Structure 1
Amino acid sequence: MTQPLVTVYIATHNRPQMLHRALQSVFAQSYPNIEIIVADDGSAPPAADTLAKTLTDEQRAKIKIVRNETPQGACHARNLALAAADGEFITGLDDDDAFAPQRVEELLDAFIDNEKKQPLACVAACITEVTAEGQITRQFDHGRITLNMMRHYNFIGNQVFTRTDYLRRVDGFDPEMPAMQDYDTWLRLMERFGPAIKLKSASYLWYTDHEQGRITKSTAKRARAFDIFLQKHRHTMSKNQLNSMRIIELKMKGQSLTGFEAVRRVNRYNYRSVVALLLQQYFGGLKRALGKIRYKG
């Protein structure tokens, strides 16, 4: 049986040690036919120079490097990789994260199997969060994800597996988005090509044991991103979906949610976000304590 080529792109900027870890996790994949594209967003020194010192000749031969000479943001770097991709399928990896060894194989199998049954935009998977204290397996929202669901909340997360042609046909990632880039892209992908499937397998290793260069820490960028996102997608949303957007807005802008507004806005798709926001506001210490119960090592 022919094994289709899968492109894995990694956008990076000035994080050579983390990039090395990310690449090693792709080299270790159980699926053999993988093209790796490193999209260097103006790193100094260039990623090509640092990789020449840390990788073997055989490993470097497996990598294609594209580069912005000056930093232009992760979306622009990802789009460079998308333009250079030769794979029939494509998926992404953040340079500070890693893949479990079976991830690409599981995603490809799930995409092909489910596409036989219905049109499909993409496949995703759950995550293992790696913190300074240990690991947390986060397996919420697995199963079939509809467009209606996605207009309430980003049920998919930060990475998908899809056909390269699909991602190109929705023009990739929007460089004008200062945050929420993934949510915006997956929503456009699903509007064009159908629902998504999210696997229960927690095969994406999300490292939160560091804070280096995290855009999500900037309230100003998050607030501006939400306003752009809502302007782009508001016309497609129902009243209930706009209620869910209001909960996201309060979180992104660091604003308070009152009990009255919580009751007025809550619905079956946003209740976890409502509860999490209220816990953070009124019982922040309790929420952190409950979270530690889920650490596994």
Structure 2
Amino acid sequence: MPATLNDASLPLVSIGIVTYNQKDFLRECIESTLAQDYPHLEIVVADDGSKDGTHEMLRDYQARYPGKFVLRLAERNQGITANSNAAHFACTGKYIAWMGGDDLLLPGKIRRQVEFMEAHPDCTLCYHNLDVFQSDTDQTLFLFNARFHPEGDVRTAIRHGTFNGACSTMVRRDKTPARGFNPAIPMASDWLYWVETLHHGGSVRYLDEVLGRYRRHGGNVTASGQHRLAQTHVDHLSSCQYILALDIDYLDDVMHAYSQKLLALRQHAHFAKFAWYSFVLSPSLKGAVRLLLYYISLGKIRK
């Protein structure tokens, strides 16, 4: 990068953090942002009406680091999309790096992504690998993008969905949707946000480095988490309609994505029906074998 890391002319990066009742995890999250070696940061935290002392903790951080924190503290819970928009519209940086209140940044993450995006002005969205770890043991479970880390353009994002972990993603703010996250999508509005961002031009690029940690804990893997997963698939089906409205030329990519979302729903509803709908929309040998095995085994094999 042509400028030095302590040069105030470096582009401002907004770290957008969305959180709800995660006080203890959030403290670790914030400390990981403060430990970054990139000097030109604003830390934007949107809290969705937490009742665990989060607001008091955040105001304390704001007092200790004047000018560093931008807080959006809701008095009542409004849902993840509204909370994400509270953060989105508070960001003023050239780049936005997104994360949840229970995620962690590893040293050098912001610097590495800024270096890459400044060197590649065609890059609209940059993501990297993540260490997915068990919270209570700190044990690594797997690497988020160990097997799959596509690059491309908006069509790549449409066809393959959210292959980028949210806390690995940095975007150019001037490419993001004017409305932010679509308020019509109640929970899983991030995929549409990435697609609409890339619809404004540029590429999605991957850094083959582990620069963040995604935490697995009771709050995101319980039965209620399974309900949220099902709602995520429903939201993605709704998102397909909005994506098609962007450009009819995306039809083939949207149909492929729609078929995959229907296929994902087979674990939460009638297996054969959703597997069949998926096959009709996007025929494949794998889909045909899936249906054949289901019927031959009298419903015992569901893959």
Regarding TM over 0.5, the answer is: yes
Aligned to 2:242: 232
Q: In the superposition, relative to structure 1, how do residues 205 and 267 fare at CA in structure 2: closer, same or farther (>3 Å)? A: farther
Aligned to 2:6: none
Q: Distance in 2 between matches of 1:64 and 1:171?
A: 20
TM-aligned CA deviation for residue 57 of structure 1: 5.2
Aligned to 1:49: 56
Q: Distance in 1 between matches of 2:33 and 2:96?
A: 13
Q: Is 1:143–1:199's contact at 8 Å kept on the other side of the alignment?
A: no
Q: Distance in 1 between matches of 2:43 and 2:226?
A: 29
Q: In the superposition, relative to structure 1, how do residues 146 and 108 fare at CA in structure 2: closer, same or farther (>3 Å)? A: same
Matched, 1:99 2:105: yes
Aligned to 2:118: 112
Aligned to 1:127: 130
Structure 1 segment 20-31 matched on structure 2, within 5 A: 20-31=27-38
TM-aligned CA deviation for residue 29 of structure 1: 1.0
**Matched letter for residue 196 of structure 1:** V
The answer for unaligned runs of 5 or more in structure 2 is: 4-8, 295-299
Task: Give the count of matched residue pairs.
Answer: 271
The TM-score, its normalising length taken from structure 1, stands at 0.77
DSSP 3-state at the match of 2:93: coil
Structure 1 segment 141-180 matched on structure 2, within 5 A: 141-142=148-149, 144-154=151-161, 155-159=163-167, 160-167=169-176, 169-180=177-188
TM-aligned CA deviation for residue 43 of structure 1: 1.4
Which 10-residue stretch deviates more, 65-74 or 255-264?
255-264
DSSP 3-state at the match of 1:211: helix
Equivalent in 6, 10, 23 of residue 13 of structure 2: 6
The answer for unaligned runs of 5 or more in structure 1 is: 285-297
TM-aligned CA deviation for residue 283 of structure 1: 8.1
Aligned to 1:194: 202
Q: In the superposition, relative to structure 1, how do residues 251 and 283 fare at CA in structure 2: closer, same or farther (>3 Å)? A: closer
Q: In the superposition, relative to structure 1, how do residues 60 and 95 fare at CA in structure 2: closer, same or farther (>3 Å)? A: farther
Q: Distance in 1 between matches of 2:65 and 2:21?
A: 20
Equivalent in 207, 211, 215 of residue 203 of structure 1: 211
The TM-score, its normalising length taken from structure 2, stands at 0.76
Q: Distance in 2 between matches of 1:146 and 1:98?
A: 27
Aligned residues: CA RMSD? 3.3
DSSP 3-state at the match of 2:11: coil
Q: Distance in 2 between matches of 1:249 and 1:261?
A: 7
Q: Distance in 2 between matches of 1:263 and 1:173?
A: 30
Larger Rg: 2
DSSP 3-state at the match of 2:166: coil
Point out which structure has higher relative CO (alpha carbons under 8 A, 6+ apart).
Answer: 1
